[in-house]
Amino acid sequence: MSEYRTVVGLEVHVQLLTISKLFCGCSVTFGQPPNSAVCPVCLGMPGVLPVMNQKAFELALRAALALNCQIAPYTKWDRKNYYYPDLPKNFQISQYDLPFSFEGYLDIPASLDQPSKRVGLFRAHLEEDAGKSMHDESGQGGSTKVDLNRAGTPLLEIVSKPEIHSAEDARAYLEELRLLLKEAGISDCEMQEGSLRCDANVNIHIPQADGSFIATPIVEVKNLNSFRAVERSIRYEAMRQMEQYQKDGKKMGEVSKCTAGWDDARGVTIVQRRKEEASDYRYFPEPDLAPIRITAEMLERAKASLGELPHQARARLQADFGLGIYDADLLVRMGRAITAYFEKVVSAGADAKSACNWVANQVLTTLNESKSTIDQYPLTPGILAGLVVEVQKSGLNMQRAREVYGAMLADGVDAKTAIQKLGFVAVADEAALAEMIRKAMAANPKAVSDFKAGKIKAADSLKGAVMKETKGMAKADLLQKILLDELNKV
Ligand SMILES: [Zn+2]
């Protein structure tokens, strides 16, 4: 019996794209000198009063709408009490029993081989971040330092239901969540800078003969520093729990929920401690902040600020441009700005499939190589459309087309000029091509007889001979047509 079902819920924290902290005016810019972006409020000095950052609340509301959440008409703040060196107030302002949003969902998009999958969300709530402990890693037993620049940074916590059933789906969920939050301007989701963090709650369900199943204790896996780490740790943890179950059997039910750290270098989870229950935090309402009533006007504003979300963009690109799932997804993942550029290339006369290929390959490569954005890209949509059209008209092969593209970038010229300059004038003279084909057939009678015997591929060598003679400049579709005509005459 080795069949089991992986059950994963993800808790994601994202930093909202504000200029200042959640309850004071301190800057949240990344990389400032330690403890330079602090004030009496975020340091928790006696007698100070927090004031809520309106922008943070607006962004959180936008996120809740993007995540299909229900919005509470009335929400409040709570204190989560615990003692830790990076938490100067000894409590964190969070939301406990009345979060501003709950019961949402996010769809993992469909791919070529899978339909889309819906993952329910328990809630999304706002809270402030703690500071950062910097432990001495020299191994010399040095001191731990604390940087409180992050203390008070606005975070949105998004808690999924345990409805993710594989490591791959966990990663796909995170990728879609990141894309959505970035595109809607809610967070930049930079894992390296700590503006997106993820913990994974993992257990497995083992089916029993009577149709029921045994659930292993949930392990919350922390210290996940990349999407790849999330994926690897879930795969590992599910297997570890299965092995544990095979050793301990039903005794496992006695273990309570616990926390584990992911060791990325060794590729293992290390179970650390019992997980605190909510009661350990002695939550109580924050007395220094007024509750918030969410008005219809606030909701309208948030709705208007959403813009087109990734799943809407995918559907529109498929419906309006006839693109397949794969291409539509490719464009959407490149972001709104590049998608808009693609649309302009099509409006300027290029066909959608070719335009998509050019944008996803050559244009993206150029942007990556020059570390620039689409706004700085030198070719206007009209000029790129001209290249797509010329390539099709002249039948240039892809290698030649890329050379034309290179010349356009280097010399700042349009496709026609570049083609002339490179001397890439396609051979589209029917009589000349027919003559070359007859010559090739005479030189290779075996290819002709093979073709006649049903080996369609045999025609390729005849085509190759003509391509060689024209140095790759024969117009491909025309050559194909004439080749078949000539073969049919024999
Ligand atoms: Zn402050």
Task: Identify the residue with better confidence: 396 or 175.
Answer: 175
Summarize the chain as % helix, strand, coil (round to 5).
45, 20, 35
Which pTM value belongs to this model? Answer: 0.86
| CA 35/CA 42 separation, integer angstroms | 11
What's the pLDDT band for 259 if we cut at 50, 70, 90?
very high
One domain, residues 353 and 408: yes
Asked whether residue 253 carries a pLDDT value surpassing 60, the answer given is no
| CA 407/CA 376 separation, integer angstroms | 18
One domain, residues 178 and 109: yes
- Give the model's pLDDT for residue 251: 63
| Ligand 1 midpoint to CA 19 (Å) | 12
The least confident of 37-41, 243-247, 392-396, 465-469 is 392-396
**3-state DSSP assignment of residue 282:** coil
Q: Where does a domain end: 269, 285, 301?
A: 301
Task: Identify the residue with better confidence: 187 or 136.
Answer: 187
Q: What are phi and psi of 471, to 5 degrees?
A: 55, 40
One domain, residues 183 and 208: yes
Q: What is the dihedral of CA 146, 148, 150, 156, to 10 degrees?
A: 90
Strand partners, 127: 155
Q: E strands of 351-486, at which residues?
A: none
Asked whether residue 294 carries a pLDDT value surpassing 80, the answer given is yes
One domain, residues 293 and 313: no
One domain, residues 357 and 437: no
| Ligand 1 midpoint to CA 148 (Å) | 9
Alpha carbons within 13 A on the beta-carbon side of 10: 30
pLDDT > 90 in the chain, percent: 75
| CA 426/CA 433 separation, integer angstroms | 11
Output the average pLDDT for the chain: 92
Exposed, middle or buried: residue 152 (CB in 10 Å: 0-12, 13-18, 19+)? buried
Beta carbons of 106 and 180 less than 8 angstroms apart: yes
Domain of 233 in residue numbering reads as: 5-301
CATH number at residue 454: 1.10.10.410
**3-state DSSP assignment of residue 112:** coil
pLDDT digits (tens, 9 = 90+) for 313-359: 999 999 999 999 999 999 999 999 999 999 999 999 999 999 999 99
Reading the block at residue 305, the tokens are 């600020």
Taken as a whole, the chain contains a residue count of: 490
One domain, residues 156 and 208: yes
One domain, residues 294 and 313: no
| Ligand 1 midpoint to CA 27 (Å) | 8
Mean pLDDT of 101-116: 94
One domain, residues 79 and 223: yes
- Give the model's pLDDT for residue 396: 80
Asked whether residue 2 carries a pLDDT value surpassing 60, the answer given is no
| CA 14/CA 28 separation, integer angstroms | 13
- Give the model's pLDDT for residue 397: 80
**3-state DSSP assignment of residue 211:** coil
Other CB atoms within 10 A of residue 74 CB: 10
| Ligand 1 midpoint to CA 38 (Å) | 4
pLDDT digits (tens, 9 = 90+) for 215-243: 999 999 999 999 999 999 999 999 999 99
What's the pLDDT band for 119 if we cut at 50, 70, 90?
very high
| Ligand 1 midpoint to CA 24 (Å) | 5
- Give the model's pLDDT for residue 404: 94
What's the pLDDT band for 272 if we cut at 50, 70, 90?
confident
One domain, residues 292 and 178: yes
One domain, residues 216 and 124: yes
b/e per residue, 233-271, with b = 16+ CB within 10 A? bbbbbbebbbebbeeeeeebeeeeeebbbbeeeeeebeb
- Give the model's pLDDT for residue 254: 56
Q: What is the end-to-end Cα distance of the chain in Å, rounded? A: 65
| Ligand 1 midpoint to CA 86 (Å) | 14
| Ligand 1 midpoint to CA 48 (Å) | 11
Which residue in 397, 395, 388 sits closest to 360, CA to CA?
Answer: 388
- The total of structural domains in the chain comes to 3
Beta carbons of 106 and 302 less than 8 angstroms apart: no
Radius of gyration over every alpha carbon of the chain, rounded to an integer in angstroms? 30
pLDDT digits (tens, 9 = 90+) for 48-84: 999 999 999 999 999 999 999 999 999 999 999 999 9
Q: Where does a domain end: 301, 318, 353?
A: 301
Q: Where does a domain end: 266, 284, 301?
A: 301
One domain, residues 126 and 148: yes
| Ligand 1 midpoint to CA 232 (Å) | 37
What one-character DSSP code corresponds to residue 474? Answer: B
One domain, residues 444 and 322: no
Give the residue carrying structure tokens 């990344």. Answer: 30
| Ligand 1 midpoint to CA 285 (Å) | 21
Which residue in 43, 30, 62 sits closest to 152, CA to CA?
Answer: 43
Helix (H) or strand (E) holding 329: helix 325-334
Beta carbons of 184 and 62 less than 8 angstroms apart: yes
| CA 6/CA 98 separation, integer angstroms | 30
The least confident of 210-219, 273-282, 422-431 is 273-282
| Ligand 1 midpoint to CA 73 (Å) | 29
> Could you write out the DSSP letters of every residue in 301-319?
HHHHT----HHHHHHHHHH
| Ligand 1 midpoint to CA 458 (Å) | 75
Beta carbons of 124 and 157 less than 8 angstroms apart: yes
